[in-house]
Amino acid sequence: MHKLASSFMVALACGTCLLPGSTRAQSATPPPRSANPPILVATPSMAVREAFEAANRGTLDDTLLDSYSRHPLGGWLEYTALRKRMDTLPIPRGNAFLARHRGEPVARAFRNDWLAALAARSEWTALLANWDAGIDDPGLRCLRLQALQATGRADAVWTSDAQALWRGTGKSLPASCDAPFAHLATQGALDDALRWERFDKAVAEGQSGVMRAIARGMSADAATQANAYAAYIDKASVDVGTWPKNARSRLVASWGLARLAKASPDQAEALLPGVAQALGFNGEERARVLVPIALWTVASYGPASARRLAAVPESAYDASLHEWRVREALARSDWRSALAAIRKMDDTQRNDSRWTYLAARTSELTGDTAGAKVLYRQAAKKSDFHGFLAADKLDQAYALCPWQPVVAHAAKQAIARDPSIVRALQLFALDRKGWAQREWADALSRFSDEQRRIAVEVAQDNGWFDRGVFALVNVDGKRYPEEQRLYLLRFPLHHDATIRREAAKNRLDPAWVAAEIRAESVFDPNARSSADARGLMQVLPATGAGVAAKIGMSWKGGDSLFDPDTNIALGTAYLRQLMDKYGGKPYQVIAGYNAGPAPLGRWISQRPTMDPDFWIETISYKETREYVARVLSFSTLYDWRLNGDAVRLSDRLLGNGNGPRKAFACATPEAPKPAQTPAPAAPKKPTLKDRRRH
């Protein structure tokens, strides 16, 4: 259960708990506060919670269920109860539920389950009667095709719909599609040409199993060739001499070698010349292989990195490859090559604060002090990791232009009373986050941009803090750049008394602890990862038990990590242990917290004396590289939230809290711009798969 105290409590209990050995002068700028009083939405009672538990067990009495019919969560409670009896639920009862909740998220959730249940019961007429044209789930669409077929309605439109499903993807489709596709084949509507069309998509997806399944319905000669192609995707070799010299053979061979390059760049590079000559590869097909060879070599900073990057045609370079060319040069301390690589980026990429800052650094290291200052000034306009570092280089205040809208109380109350928002917040309080997000999306589909921002504030008043991350700036494919300035919403602060207490106990910066929580869970105490990391600081049970034993704290099992006080106590103690182990360098500790000790040890041994900013940029895991910069940037912003000023980021990197603190200053901000809809993305080239902690 969430504590609903205001997230804007910022009075400091420990004004000196910053970094080891730090000193703290009185801030000249007061910490920021929200101008809008919180509005709390009633949380579900214990009786409601017990009713949901009974419904989930299938033991909720219908009389008791009826008594909740007018409750905000009555529909979701009934859905919970009905989904336990789908195999025997009378059709009129299911239809009545859909009618009562027409247009609501709960009806859409129920309909999907209801259609699957009706199909399992062969109630085809009822399935068709309950169909909604907006359903796009391939499995359900195939069930509809089954229903039409079973009721004698497999006409020309049916055939066209089934063929569209077939050709729509190269990935595996649900088993419910087997029967319609088999019927297509018996009707002669799934010929070799249509099979090859989907086969080619499966090649690009690396789906050799789908390729073999498609081949089973082909003519004998075509099936033989198709199976040879599937085997090549699984294990590329030089043996392509008997293949037809056509576009499909080149497609298969190039994708097979590209797939091999991810596991063995050396082997792919050795095979490429012979295969390319045998089949007559064009430039695009060669590049399809050369790009992953280069990427998966430079990811480990292998000795052939520079040569393989140079072998990729400039026309095949995408943003990722441009970045890796810079990192490879940085890893060798080749500042001129790094700067040259940055200059080859397009304007949009090069003007990002990361590359502007690194262009300034490498310009400075190659003797262009004046040019470096120009670039530092450009980067320092941004309120992010590289912008803060640039400001330190110039010894100027950090750029920050907070936008703190004052909201009319009546407008905020109206949002807090919206039925979808009420249901969303109550479902979140019940830890039914998927359902809560359905209700949230339904509300936002009706809201203006201003109402959406107010809804985020209402959600945070009620403990749903991640709405400030997922419902601002980038929303439904549109970008709202001015919302980056909503720092109080985007960087919520909760459990701050515990954060300050445990940070002081472990000689840590409380702003860093808050930043870790923001990065790990966005202040959701019930957060749980796929690897079973739990709570605010995403502590694994085994880690929690080990830390508890070391510090003499009573361990009450993995579920105790969902308690905020316990989680913060163990998470901060673990950070302290990492600080002691890695020489008090927060940037390395943050990397280890995300990636684990083995990768961290490798990165330290590879580049033991590299400057922190370059060391961070040359971390080989994309997730960890971005995580370290993000947490350090967040730490600066949480220092502002707690104190109104901040430890210099260049000092924070090294765990040094001594010296002057930095102020924040706002130049005249740009006028708010309308939402921007990104242009359609270009086809992606192979990229390095993100590694994840745990």
Cα gap 128→479, rounded to integer Å: 39
pLDDT band at 32; cut points 50, 70, 90: confident
| 448-487 pLDDT tens trace | 999 999 999 999 999 999 999 999 999 999 999 999 999 9
| 553-583 pLDDT tens trace | 999 999 999 999 999 999 999 999 999 999 9
Q: Which residues on neighbouring strands pair with residue 399, listed in sequence order?
A: 665
Q: Provide the greatest CA pair distance for the chain.
A: 83
Closest CA to 396 of 617, 656, 649: 649
Number of neighbouring beta carbons within 10 Å of residue 334: 15
Dihedral angle of Cα 624, 549, 504, 399, to the nearest 10 degrees: 10
Question: How would you class 433 by CB atoms within 10 Å of its CB: exposed for 0-12, middle for 13-18, buried for 19 or more?
Answer: middle
Closest CA to 180 of 139, 220, 208: 139
Specify the amino acid at residue 154. Answer: A
What crossing angle do the helices spanning 220-234 and 247-263 adopt, rounded to 10°? 20
Classified as helix, coil or strand, 479 is strand
- For 95, 133, 178, the CA distances from 92, given in Å and listed in that order, are 5, 21, 30
| 302-344 pLDDT tens trace | 999 999 999 999 999 999 999 999 999 999 999 999 999 999 9
**Strands annotated E in 86-170:** none
- For 102, 150, 613, 662, 689, the CA distances from 374, given in Å and listed in that order, are 59, 72, 19, 21, 35
pLDDT band at 31; cut points 50, 70, 90: confident
Mean pLDDT computed over 109-116: 98
| 617-630 pLDDT tens trace | 999 999 999 999 99
Cα gap 418→442, rounded to integer Å: 11
So what's the pLDDT on residue 677?
44
Specify the amino acid at residue 241. Answer: G
Cα gap 155→162, rounded to integer Å: 11
| pLDDT over 90 (residue 9) | no
Give the pair of three-digit tokens for residue 257: 């070698």
| 608-656 pLDDT tens trace | 999 999 999 999 999 999 999 999 999 999 999 999 999 999 999 999 8
Cα gap 496→12, rounded to integer Å: 9
Dihedral angle of Cα 584, 586, 590, 592, to the nearest 10 degrees: -30
- For 52, 147, 429, the CA distances from 433, given in Å and listed in that order, are 14, 33, 9
Specify the amino acid at residue 225. Answer: Q
Classified as helix, coil or strand, 325 is helix
SS (H, E, C) 89-144: CCHHHHHHHHHHCCCCHHHHHHHHHHHHHHHHCCCHHHHHHCCCCCCCCHHHHHHH
What crossing angle do the helices spanning 46-57 and 74-82 adopt, rounded to 10°? 20
Residue with tokens 């515990």: 498
Give the pair of three-digit tokens for residue 627: 């995580």
Q: Are 547 and 505 in contact (CB under 8 A)?
A: no
Closest CA to 333 of 353, 306, 308: 306
The sign one gets for the Cα dihedral 267, 268, 269, 271 is positive
Q: Is the pTM of this model over 0.95?
A: no
| pLDDT over 50 (residue 689) | no
Pairing of strands 664-665, 398-399: parallel
Q: What does the radius of gyration of the chain's CA atoms come to, in whole angstroms?
A: 29
The gap from C-alpha 353 to its chain's centroid, in whole angstroms, comes to: 21
Closest CA to 79 of 507, 447, 434, 560: 434
Question: Any idea how long the chain is?
Answer: 694
Classified as helix, coil or strand, 240 is coil
Alpha helices in 404-466 (DSSP H): 409-417, 419-429, 433-444, 449-461
| pLDDT over 70 (residue 673) | no
Dihedral angle of Cα 609, 613, 616, 617, to the nearest 10 degrees: -110
